[in-house]
Amino acid sequence: MRVAYFVQTHRAPDQVLRLVATLRGGSPGALLLVGHDPTGPPLDGRALAALGADLFHPAEPPRRGYWSLFAPWVEAVERLDRAGAAYDWLVYLSGQDYPVLPLAASEAALAAGGHDGYVTWVDAAGPSPEGRRRQGRLRYLYRYRDLPRAARLLGLLRRANGVQPWWHVHLTYGPRLGLRARHTPFGPHLRPMWGSQWTTLSRLAAECVAEAARGPLADWFAATVCPDEAFAQTVLAGDPRCPFRLANDNLRFVDVRGSRDGHPRSLGIADGPALLAGGYAFARKIDPAADPDLRDWLDEQAPHTPHRPSP
């Protein structure tokens, strides 16, 4: 079995290099791809090439809340296809992920798990995992337009968000104005789902999502808020005819308790027992500025190579 790891990054070149070195050390035969924000600090292309990693820069800088944040994953699948690469699984990582289990163990679990994908999802018509009751509907059943010149006016109109259903002002990723759609692509055979952006999918499931990203459903999601958290979920879990066996679990340790913007808490060694007890393959967010020793500690608990990766 062969795993492809796609790492999407925008900052911290040294941290990215260490993650890629750890992936290579733990999985010598893996395919490694890095999609780096072209506006971010440059990565060391030679060092990544020495590790056998394919580095590319998306044509459009990824922007949180927009389709451009999901587009690099689609490009990674397409690059693998154009190269004729043979792989069985695609693991989608951020630059602030780090392995918790030895990669040999997590890859063996994928081979033996009996699933075609590990992805989290809830119905967008219901409450979010954080208990926000309207968030999914507001994100995925409205059509949004950027209105940067009307930012001050939208700030005033935002006060009416909770008292009428026809339009919604979104300032977190904007300024944007959304109008409730009269017609949607959803119905008995397709429900809007949403969850975590980070997934682990079999090759067939990944190619199914990438193929849908070239069709009309992608046009719909491109006018929504945070399509990166809903497109794959809708394609795979929202269609009852989907042939893939999915686990509602993305195998990641992430702590977003108390967060209203989706940003996870930076982890530290104090989180170690919880990391090791849950059978997680990866954890985020790892921030050396918050805890410089956590990666070394994880390497000691779950060694990936007989030598330490480059710092």
Q: Which domains does the chain have, with CATH numbers?
A: 3-123+192-301 (3.90.550), 142-180 (no CATH)
HEC per residue, 43-61: CCHHHHHHCCEEEECCCCC
pLDDT-based confidence at 177, cuts 50/70/90? very high
If you average pLDDT over residues 110-119, what whole number do you get?
A: 96
d(CA 13, CA 60): 19
pLDDT (tens digit, 9 = 90+) per residue, 198-212?
999 999 999 999 999
Residue 131 has pLDDT above 90, yes or no: no
- DSSP for the chain, written as a single string: --EEEEEEESS-HHHHHHHHHHHHHH-TT-EEEEEE-TTSPPP-HHHHHHTTEEEE--SS---TTSGGGTHHHHHHHHHHHHTT---SEEEEEETT-EESS-HHHHHHHHHHS--SEE---EETTS--TT--SSHHHHHHSEEEEE-GGGHHHHHHHGGGTTT-SSEEEE-TT-SEEEEE-SS-S-BTTB--EE--S--EEEHHHHHHHHHHTTSHHHHHHHTSS-GGGTHHHHHHHS-TT----EES--SEE---TT-SS-PPPPP-GGGHHHHHHTT-SEE----TTT-TTHHHHHHHHS--SSSPPP-
pLDDT tens digits, one per residue of 46-76: 999 999 999 999 999 999 999 999 999 999 9
Whether pLDDT at 311 is above 80 = no
Q: What type of residue is 276?
A: L
What percentage of residues in the chain have a pLDDT greater than 70? 95
Question: What gap in Å lies between CA 303 and CA 266, rounded to an integer?
Answer: 22
179 — pLDDT class (breaks 50, 70, 90): very high
Task: Kindly report, residue by residue over 268-289, the tens digit of the pLDDT.
Answer: 999 999 998 888 999 999 999 9
- The predicted model gives 178-199 an average pLDDT of 95
Q: Assign 174 a pLDDT band (cuts: 50, 70, 90).
A: confident
The structure tokens 């587009």 sit at 71
Residue 307 has pLDDT above 60, yes or no: no
259 pLDDT above the threshold of 60: no
Mean model confidence pLDDT for the chain: 92
**Lookup: tokens for 149:** 């010149």
Judged against a pLDDT cut of 70, whether residue 306 lies above it is answered with no
pLDDT category, 308, cuts 50, 70, 90? very low
